[in-house]
Amino acid sequence: MLKRLLPIFSTALLYVFFYLITTLKFDVHLELSAIFYDYLMQLAVAYILFSVSKRVWIFLLIQALLMAILYVGNAVKMSFFGGPIIPDDVFALQALLLILEGWRFFALAIPLAAIASLVVFNFTVRHWSSYLAGLSMILLGMTLVYKPIMILDPLDKYFGNSKWDQRTNYLSRGPVLYSLQEGARFFVLAEKSPDMDEAQLAVENLLSTAPVSKPLTEIKPFKPRNVHIVLLESFWDPSELKKAHFSQNPLAPDFRKLWKNTEYSHALVPVFGGGTANSEFEVLCGFPVTKSSVKFERQLLNPAPCLPHILADKGYRTVVSHPNVPVFWNRVNAYRNVGFQTYWSKQNFLLDDMNREFLSDASLYRQVMEKISGSLDNKQPTLDYIVTYFGHWNYPLNDSRPLKVSSRSQVEEVSAYANTVYYKSRELMAFLEQLKLRDPDGIIVAFGDHLPNLGDGYVESGVLFSSWSEFSPTMFKFHVSTPIIIIDGKNGPLKVGNIPLYQVPKLVLDLLNYNEPTIMDYVVPLPDISVRPLPGLHLDVFKNDKVDLCKEPPYSKACQKSEAWLNDVVVVSNDLFIGRQYTRPKHASAQHLDTLPATLAPLIPVEANDFQEQK
């Protein structure tokens, strides 16, 4: 009898232990109303585990490991990224294991391996309760996958749901109920390929709001020029942290001077603190990412006419350089699908200047220049796309890069990051100077992929609050704004203001006088509004820098307009990247263009069976 009461006592003790850790160490407090439901669900999980366990001590170990992941794991993620663990993080786990080194790798891998091996080793079916526990889990799993709405509807009705504030969802439900509810939502909201009618209607809606095409007499001929795109890992301006009181400005003076010439233009990126691949998707394919899932992982199934494919069709050499393991974020498949001909990854670089596991930008730039020199000398137009690696948390430096910047911040990452930016900005400027000498007419795009992980550094300086639910509209804009510099060859830097990252490919094609139809023509921005989607909400950024936060109905008129536009964009995006590609453009001859309405002339939908992968 006493043995059967063990899960009650073990759950209570472990619950108090982990709750104290998350409260005192990470300042994560469940609402009082959530604790009752959360404990009951933890108790149900404990009895299921207990029913199929051979040995009591192994049951206790498995329970402790599971609860550590549920409570401490969620608290850690919220402290870095502002939100709890979501189902998509399961798909990102492989990428995380690939990037971690040393003790960090084992800190994550050992608990996961221990849980799996201990469950198998300790599993037994010797009593009716074991059969009942197994049946319950199988039934729950089948319902979750095949009929998730049966779980989601009653839970949403009783507990509610905020589409944009997952932290509040977590705190009001507790980790077990939150995981169940969001797991069901994951299956309910799985992206679906639209049919032809849905895709065509979305196209007509989008093209009806696009500006009228230029007359043929005003169209300039395509002019192939080299395009250099540099994604700067975690690159941002630390001087925004006023209370850090840096001993000197971390950004290189010549970078700040160049940035000033753009009137301090900013890219509005889709992610915060991580998720580089989503920024990559936008700057390569010209469509916004609207969810927290990594687009490269499961939402880029088709070869698509993104910027590399388009330029390859025009005789460009398309190359991508990133000194990380090649399969990270499914980049091998993703880069092939967007049209890169060559992918230089970790094994293609001499790892001669390492900041712990990260190759320095200086070495990366030098080696890339060596690799593309033949194309530059032979005047072969090239798309040169570089994804830097140096700049990842926790911002290590080697002995050749001594600390140059100090601060009064109490947050360790703030000073470490400032010193990373000190070197990162200077190494970038040295590369840009070399590029301008070797390729004075080339187009250069350099931008930060997301803001850095700085723990409480943002809260310490008052630029962000600790919870998204407290963010003002300007804070939402702030937390997705990174520096961007676009240099139009000899014409110099452009003043692009606040530009959503997905609008950059269209801008690059315009600078090349590319006049043929592309998928980017579907995402021409609304007049006077830049739309920045984020998970569960979107921002309308106006030309006067006013920000309208569109998170829950009733929407303002501007939000209604941008919401309708965004819904159509998502339909076309799903068709192009995971669907039948009914909306994939094909070239229309000039004589036919003359006979089409102005709003339909730029694009002609192509049937799915007309599609052939570009080589």
Looking at residue 552, its pLDDT comes to 82
Of 227, 277, 452, 235, give the one whose Cα is nearest residue 361.
Answer: 235
What percent helix, strand, coil does the chain show, rounded to 5?
55, 10, 35
What does the DSSP assignment read for 414-474?
Answer: HHHHHHHHHHHHHHHHHHHHHHHHH-TT-EEEEEESS----TTHHHHTTSS-SSGGG--HH
Looking at residue 100, its pLDDT comes to 64
User: Residue 443: which pLDDT band, with cuts at 50, 70 and 90?
Assistant: very high
Contact between 525 and 517 under an 8 Å Cβ cutoff? The reply is no
Assign residue 160 a region: left if phi > 0, alpha if psi is -120 to 50, beta otherwise? left
Who has greater pLDDT, 367 or 103?
A: 367
Per-residue pLDDT of 476-518, as tens digits, reads 999 999 999 999 999 999 999 999 999 999 999 999 999 999 9
DSSP state of 541: E
Who has greater pLDDT, 80 or 47?
A: 47
Q: What are the residues facing 346 on neighbouring strands?
A: none
Average pLDDT over residues 153-165: 87
Tokens representing residue 299 in the block: 């939402």
The Cα-based distances of 449 to 73, 99, 501 in angstroms read 25, 17, 9
Report the percent of the chain where pLDDT is more than 70. Answer: 92
pLDDT above 70 for 600: no
Average pLDDT over residues 72-90: 83
Q: What are the residues facing 173 on neighbouring strands?
A: none
pLDDT above 50 for 182: yes
Of 119, 176, 231, 184, give the one whose Cα is nearest residue 501.
Answer: 231
Average pLDDT over residues 237-252: 96
Looking at residue 132, its pLDDT comes to 85
Looking at residue 557, its pLDDT comes to 92
Q: For 488, list phi and psi in degrees, rounded to 5.
A: -95, 65
Looking at residue 71, its pLDDT comes to 93
Looking at residue 187, its pLDDT comes to 87
The strand pair at 227-232 and 382-387 is best described as parallel
Contacts of 548 (CB under 8 A, 6+ apart): 473, 539, 540, 542, 556, 558, 559
Looking at residue 613, its pLDDT comes to 33
Q: For 160, list phi and psi in degrees, rounded to 5.
A: 80, 175
Tokens representing residue 353 in the block: 């200047």
Most confident of 3-7, 174-178, 485-489, 555-559: 485-489
For residues 308 and 78, what is the distance between their CA atoms, to the nearest angstrom?
A: 36
CATH topology for 196-610? Alkaline Phosphatase, subunit A (3.40.720)
Instruction: Evaluate the omega torsion of the peptide bond into residue 226 and state whether it is cis, within 30 degrees of 0.
Output: no
Average pLDDT over residues 218-246: 94
Contacts of 69 (CB under 8 A, 6+ apart): 111, 115
Least confident of 48-57, 282-291, 600-609: 600-609
Average pLDDT over residues 425-450: 97
Our measurement of the distance from residue 541's CA atom to the centroid of its chain's CA atoms, rounded to an integer in Å, reads 20
Our measurement of the distance from residue 589's CA atom to the centroid of its chain's CA atoms, rounded to an integer in Å, reads 38
pLDDT above 90 for 285: yes
SS3 122: helix
* Burial tier of 376 (Cβ tally within 10 Å: 0-12, 13-18, 19+): middle
Tokens representing residue 263 in the block: 């009137």
Question: Which DSSP helix (H) or strand (E) runs through 309?
Answer: helix 307-313
Tokens representing residue 282 in the block: 């936008």
DSSP state of 209: T
For residues 443 and 432, what is the distance between their CA atoms, to the nearest angstrom?
A: 11
Of 333, 325, 397, give the one whose Cα is nearest residue 361.
Answer: 397
For residues 378 and 397, what is the distance between their CA atoms, to the nearest angstrom?
A: 37
What does the DSSP assignment read for 132-193?
Answer: HHHHHHHHHHHHHHH-THHHHHHHHHHH---SS-HHHHHHHH-HHHHHHHHHHHHHHT----
Average pLDDT over residues 239-249: 96
Per-residue pLDDT of 49-72, as tens digits, reads 998 888 888 899 999 999 999 999
Looking at residue 217, its pLDDT comes to 56
Looking at residue 129, its pLDDT comes to 79
Write down the residue that tokens 């001929």 correspond to.
221
- Domain range list for the chain: 3-188, 196-610
SS3 360: coil
For residues 293 and 535, what is the distance between their CA atoms, to the nearest angstrom?
A: 9
pLDDT above 70 for 607: no
What's the predicted TM-score (pTM) here? 0.85
What does the DSSP assignment read for 227-293?
Answer: EEEEEETT---GGG-GGG--SS-SS-HHHHHHHHHTTS-EEE-S-SSS-HHHHHHHHHH-----SSS
Q: What is the mean pLDDT of the chain?
A: 89
Looking at residue 316, its pLDDT comes to 97
Task: Provide the b/e sequence for 127-163 (b: ≥16 CB within 10 Å).
Answer: eeebeebeeeeeeeeeebeeebeebbeebeeebebbe
Looking at residue 79, its pLDDT comes to 77
pLDDT above 70 for 2: no
pLDDT above 50 for 529: yes
pLDDT above 90 for 590: no
First to last CA, the chain: 70
The Cα-based distances of 615 to 13, 117, 130, 483, 512 in angstroms read 61, 45, 56, 34, 22
Task: Provide the b/e sequence for 546-577 (b: ≥16 CB within 10 Å).
Answer: ebbbbbeeebeebbebbbebbebbbbbbbbbb
For residues 572 and 304, what is the distance between their CA atoms, to the nearest angstrom?
A: 12
Looking at residue 597, its pLDDT comes to 36
SS3 476: helix
In one letter, which amino acid is 355?
N
Least confident of 161-170, 452-461, 547-556: 161-170
Looking at residue 214, its pLDDT comes to 61
